[in-house]
Structure formats: C-alpha cells, structure tokens
Amino acid sequence: METKAGDPGAFAHFDLNRVDSPAFVVDAAKLRANCQVLADIRDAADIKVLAALKAFSMWVTAPIIGEYLDGVCTSGLWEARLASEFYDGEIATYCAAYKPEDLAEVCRLSDHVIFNSPGQLTRFAPVIEAARAAGQDFDIGLRINPQVPTGEVPRYDPSSPGSRLGFPLDQLTEEVMDMVDGIHFHNLCEQDLAPLQQTWDRVFDAIEPWFGQLKWINMGGGHHITRADYQREELVEFLRDAKDDTGAEIYLEPGEAVALDAGILVGTILDTGWNGVPVAITDISATCHMPDVIEAPYRPAMLREERGEGEPVRLGGPSCLAGDIIGDYALPMPCQPGERFAFLDQAHYSMVKTNTFNGVQLPSIWLWDSDTDQLEMVKSFGYETFRDRLS
C-alpha cells in the first residue's frame, strides 16, 4: 500500500533534537489548516462534519477541532466517554456489536447510536425504550454495507466479500428501515471523490424509496479531503445534490483528513550492522509504534528526502519480533548510532495503535505550533505505563 500523504510542511524546518526519542510531534497549525478546509467544505455544501476519534484522539487538541467541526464520531463506550469529557458538539457512536452492559451509557452520551445489524437493534429495544423513557434524546441509525469494493487492500475494505461491517444493502426491507432514523455507510480508505460517487450510486438506488423518511445519511470516513489533489469543488457539488435528492442531513466523518500530514514520529538509530544488507536498529518499532506498517502493509515516508545514491539501510525496531521491520531507506543522514530521523504523517492511527509489546517504550507526545514555534510535551510514558497494563 503506497501512502498518499507525506508532505513535510513546516516540519522541514523542525529541529528533531528539541524533543526526546521516540516522540510524536503534532503541529497545531497544520491541524487548524486541515480543519479549516473541512469547515469550508461543510459550509459550502451545507452539511455536517464530525472528526473520527478512532483515527486521531489526541484530546488536548479538542479545542482546535471543536472550533471548526460539528462534533465527533466514536467507536464504542470508551471513545464516547472521551468525547463527552473533552469534545464539543454532537457525538455519533457506531460499534460492530455493543455489549449489553455498555449500551445504556452509550445512549446517554450519544446523539446518534448506530447499529451494525437489525438483529442487535431488535434485541436491545428494551434498553433503547428505557433510555428514552428516562428523557434521553438520541437517534437510531443502521450501518449498511454497500457491497461495492473500492479499496486497494481487502482488509481495509468494508465491502470485501464476507465483511462483518454493516448490514448488506441487498437485504434491506421496509421493516428494517422503519426502525431507524438514519443510514450510515463507511466504504473508503484514503480515497478521493470517485470511489464515493461509485458507492453512492449503489446506495442511492437501494434507499431511494425512503427518501423523505430518513433524517440523516452519514457517508462515513476515508475521505482524503485535506490532501492537496482532492477534488473539493466537485465534492461540494456532490454533497449538495445528495442533500437535495434525499431531503436528509448529510454527514461526513473524516479521521485521517483531520490530522493528515500534521504529525511526525521522531526516532534515533541505536546500532548498526551488516547481514547481507546494511541494518540499523532504532528506538522506533513498527510492531509497537506503527503497526499499520506491518498490517497494511505500507512504507512510511521519511522527513527529509532520501539520498539517490548509496545502498538502502534496513530499519527495524528494538523488539524481539523478527518481522519488526519498518523498511529499507536511503537515509538522508549518516547511518550511525545517535543520529535522529523522523517519519512523516504519523499523527493519525499510529498514535492510537501504539502498544507496549516486549516492554518497548511508548513515544512521548508533543504539541508544536509552527505558527508561533511554541513546543510543549503533553504526555510521557514510563515503566509504570507498561507495568499497569499487566497484573
């Protein structure tokens, strides 16, 4: 999978030695710029835009997001709780399957509670009725599966055959649609307008009988709207048409687009060697700090341009996993212990997916404002973080 981001922006001038290692550094100015783009789309199309916490939940930046967007979408109880504590605006919660003991609080915290199947919605009808009887005000939504594969990597494509995500579009009935206020679909991953149009063509035909009945339609995330080459004017026209055609409020819930190119992951070379190829061990671990490198897989872009000459160096993490390999790079600096380097576009997903396998240290988290050059460490992790996850 080829990353479609990797613009260094203001990080091109950032001194990596200003922070410890490993460390995430997030640029508040770039976050504001991304959110402004999303807000401009929202205003021009007269829709609503929610930030997806599953991709970027650095809650110290919640005031920035709240200044521009309409709220957040969450993936279950704990993200809904985080949203209620720190974020402004609406909360839309979707979970592939709710636990019975969680749903009452999810209903209390959320403006929209979205189910993955009509079966679970039916089973939880008493919980929903009790919550409404207690005066809680929330809509009920159903996630549908458009059955339109558009993704480059099947494991990231909700429409892959046999997907567990969303109720199959060809199984919708009047009985099912009468149970819900809105429809949700999420079918994209780092994509532009054409796959959204392809998805909508299929969804439109299937749900057209219920236009006028649906209060809202949530078109999910995976929209790379803040990427420089995204077709934004065409998107506005598309969204206006969708709102006019359906009579429903239209929602987008981008995650990556909020934090695209807004963060780097700083690391240090710890040791070097040779085993048929040059090898360098770093304090950044693909396994622990950037698991999408292995899961997607993909090759993250480095800060500062790679050299055109010289043999690439295989960068790997400090864990004992043989596959803890980040990739082969023509390094932009000498390959020697103590040298600093950074990977681009690491604010989204990398930060929320970190883990402490093997006792590998978690990266600290820094907030930098490239407009003012203000730099603040907002979180660091010690041995206790590793210890307290265990028993």
For the chain, the structural domain boundaries read 9-25+262-387, 46-259
CB burial of 113-147 (b: ≥16 within 10 Å; e: otherwise) equals bbbbbbebbeebeebbeebeeeeeebebbbbbbbb
pLDDT attached to residue 239: 98
**Mean pLDDT for the stretch of residues 132-161:** 94
Cβ contacts of 263 within 8 Å, gap of 6 or more = 24, 25, 26, 27, 345, 346, 347, 348, 350, 351
Q: Chain-centre distance of CA 214, in angstroms?
A: 27
- What's the mean per-residue pLDDT of the chain? 96
**Encoding tokens for residue 11?**
């990080």
Output the pLDDT for position 387: 97
Query: Is the pLDDT assigned to residue 24 strictly greater than 70?
Result: yes
Longest pairwise C-alpha distance within the chain = 70
Peptide linkage before 334 cis (omega within 30 of 0): no
Q: How far apart are alpha carbons 47 and 308 in whole angstroms? A: 46
111-138 mean pLDDT: 97
User: pTM of the prediction?
Assistant: 0.96
pLDDT at 199: 98
d(C-alpha 187, C-alpha 163), whole Å: 11
* pLDDT at 155 (0 to 100): 86
Q: What percent of the chain has pLDDT over 90?
A: 95
Express each pLDDT in 244-287 by its tens digit.
999 999 999 999 999 999 999 999 999 999 999 999 999 999 99
pLDDT band of residue 2 (cuts 50, 70, 90) is low
So what's the pLDDT on residue 5?
66
Say how far apart CA 259 and CA 112 lie, in whole Å. 24
**Residue 364: its pLDDT value, please?**
98
Query: What CATH number does domain 46-259 carry, 3.30.160.70, 3.30.420.40, 3.20.20.10, 3.40.720.10?
Result: 3.20.20.10
Cα Rg of the chain, angstroms: 22
* Ramachandran angles phi, psi of 193, nearest 5°: -75, -40
pLDDT at 154: 87
| 9-25+262-387: CATH architecture | Beta Barrel (2.40)
The pLDDT score that the predictor gives to residue 134 is 96
* Per-residue model confidence (pLDDT) at position 6: 77
For residue 327, count other CB atoms closer than 10 A to its CB: 17
- What are 201-258's pLDDT values in tens digits? 999 999 999 999 999 999 999 999 999 999 999 999 999 999 999 999 999 999 999 9
8 Å CB contact between 204 and 196: no
Q: How confident is the model at residue 88 (pLDDT cuts 50, 70, 90)?
A: very high
Res 322 pLDDT > 70:
yes
| Interval 281-311: pLDDT, tens | 999 999 999 999 999 999 999 999 887 667 8
Q: How many angstroms separate the CA atoms of 385 and 14, rounded?
A: 28
Reply yes or no on whether the pLDDT at 4 is more than 80: no
pLDDT of residue 1: 64
Q: What is the pLDDT of residue 310?
A: 74
